């Protein structure tokens, strides 16, 4: 089995890092940040236009948010060795499937390496459905839905539970942490 795994929202704690950075650099907006319920910035960063949010996240702070020292999700770190041993034992491949912007690809790879998230294969693409994987673990409602419809391998989407994907949790098999794969999904 080829197991596709997303980065942001599955391995990296991007959203809390964005919230923390806004509070630090723009304290005037601190109490206006809402609970993220989508990947649309305007929905939970109502004080900024989409362009302003994109500038803050992907231009002014890309190194901090996507670089070597960005923050791993604690449970993902705890679970990685369990997942890796299970994959080796059962002959599964772990395949990174991450939609990073051009200037964030190399630094994301540095983040993965630093935290020991070592994959059998690395794919940086927005067209996740085009990667030949049997399942895709992702947090993005949009990515899960498109993968479900178009996956070249007729792969199955698996939702990583987050506050912004409650609708996806009703539609797809949903996990709380990576080690659930070794028990609930394929156990």
List interacting residues with Mg ion (CB under 5 A). Answer: 6, 8-9, 139-140
User: CA separation (Å) from 75 to 12, 162, 163?
Assistant: 10, 13, 16
> Smallest distance, Å, CB 89 to Mg ion?
27
> Smallest distance, Å, CB 160 to Mg ion?
8
The tokens of 129 are what?
């459905």
Instruction: Between 6 and 17, name the residue whose CB sits nearer to Mg ion.
Output: 6
Instruction: Between 36 and 48, name the residue whose CB sits nearer to Mg ion.
Output: 36
- Region at 9 (left for phi over 0; alpha for psi -120 to 50; beta for the rest): left
> Smallest distance, Å, CB 8 to Mg ion?
4
Q: What is the number of the residue whose Cβ is closest to Mg ion?
A: 9
Instruction: Between 115 and 140, name the residue whose CB sits nearer to Mg ion.
Output: 140
> Smallest distance, Å, CB 161 to Mg ion?
12
The tokens of 89 are what?
């034992």
As a whole number of angstroms, the distance between CA 83 and CA 29 comes to 39
As a whole number of angstroms, the distance between CA 185 and CA 187 comes to 6
Instruction: Between 8 and 86, name the residue whose CB sits nearer to Mg ion.
Output: 8
Backbone angles phi, psi at 131, to 5 degrees: -90, 135
């Amino acid at each position: 089995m080829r197991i596709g795994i997303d980065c942001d929202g599955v391995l990296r704690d991007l959203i809390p890092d964005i919230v923390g950075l806004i509070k630090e650099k723009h304290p005037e907006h601190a109490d206006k940040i809402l609970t993220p319920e989508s990947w649309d910035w305007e929905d939970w960063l109502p004080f900024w236009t989409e362009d302003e949010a994109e500038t803050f996240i992907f231009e002014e702070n890309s190194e901090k948010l996507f670089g070597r020292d960005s923050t791993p999700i604690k449970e993902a770190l705890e679970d990685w060795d369990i997942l890796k041993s299970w994959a080796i034992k059962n002959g599964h491949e772990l395949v990174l499937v991450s939609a990073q912007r051009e200037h964030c690809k190399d630094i994301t790879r540095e983040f993965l390496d630093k935290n020991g998230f070592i994959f059998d294969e690395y794919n940086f693409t927005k067209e996740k459905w085009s990667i030949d994987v049997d399942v895709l673990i992702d947090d993005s409602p949009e990515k899960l839905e498109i993968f479900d419809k178009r996956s070249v391998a007729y792969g199955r989407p698996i939702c990583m539970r987050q506050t912004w994907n409650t609708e996806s949790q009703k539609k797809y098999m949903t996990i709380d942490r990576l080690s659930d794969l070794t028990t609930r999904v394929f156990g």
